[in-house]
Amino acid sequence: MSHAIRPETRRGRPPAGQSTLSRQAILGAAMDVVDGKGVEAVSMRTVARVLGVDPKSLYNHVENKDALLDGLAELVLSRMVIPESCGDLREDLTAIARAFRGAALAEHPRAARLVLTRPVESLITLEPLEVALAAFLRAGASPEVAVHCLRTMLAFITGTLLREAEAAFTLALSDPDMATERQRTLEAVELPSVRAAAPHLAKCDHEQEFDFGLGLLIDALECRLG
């Protein structure tokens, strides 16, 4: 596809001796900003500063900030390996969800929010939806019900991955020392159920939590479609 972003292109500054800007160079610089300071720090001005150019020159390649953010979402999602269907609803949905999670969190976890919240308009972002919709239709859902099922699944994936992406930079749930401290704090409260669950509340294996929630969701979808 002509608009696809090459996965290997990352750095924002053009190679030495190359003064011409490109969309790929701009997106690479924007991703550098996201990796370093988060999505909130992205603007045409900050990206231009990374590239060492006048902000106005960016508009020859990227229409505006929204187009820039959409391009970053496509860049991340272009790394997603679309799984082939095996014909089993549970296995197909599990493979799709895990592939989406991997693409959203792998190299640029701070960009995950873009993948999960930007509007779906390009073929790059529509291909995973095609695979999921096909799985629901094969399971007997009407097109309308398939869309409801898809949106329910996306709501779960979005909420879970947003929590995971933000926790990676704020809560440090995988830090054993912090987990021990949190457990002590929870065990000290006068809430019996919280105290009983304190060892489990204090830590979080995001992949395990994702698979557990996904399993419950697919159970419900299979029950509804069966």
Q: DSSP letter string over 6-70?
A: PTT---SSPPTT-----HHHHHHHHHHHHHHH-GGG--HHHHHHHHTS-GGGGGGT--SHHHHHH
Question: Is residue 111 a part of any domain in this protein?
Answer: yes
Task: Check whether residue 71 and residue 100 sit in a common domain.
Answer: no
Which residue blocks in the chain are alpha helix, DSSP H? Answer: 23-37, 44-51, 65-77, 89-105, 112-117, 123-138, 143-170, 176-187, 192-201, 206-225
pLDDT at 131 > cutoff 70: yes
The rounded distance, in Å, linking the Cα atoms of 8 and 5 is 9
Q: Are residues 42 and 143 in the same domain?
A: no
215 shares a domain with 143 = yes
Answer with the residue of higher pLDDT: 169 or 83.
83
Whether 146 and 99 share a structural domain: yes
Instruction: Band the pLDDT of 5: cuts 50, 70, 90.
Output: very low
Q: Do 111 and 136 lie in a common domain?
A: yes
Please give the residue range of the domain that contains residue 126: 89-169+208-225
Q: C-alpha distances in angstroms, 128 versus 27, 41, 48, 113, 176?
A: 22, 28, 32, 17, 36
Cα torsion through 62, 79, 50, 59, rounded to 10: 0
Q: How many independent structural domains does the chain possess?
A: 2
Residue 11 scores a pLDDT above 50: no
**Residue 120 pLDDT:** 62
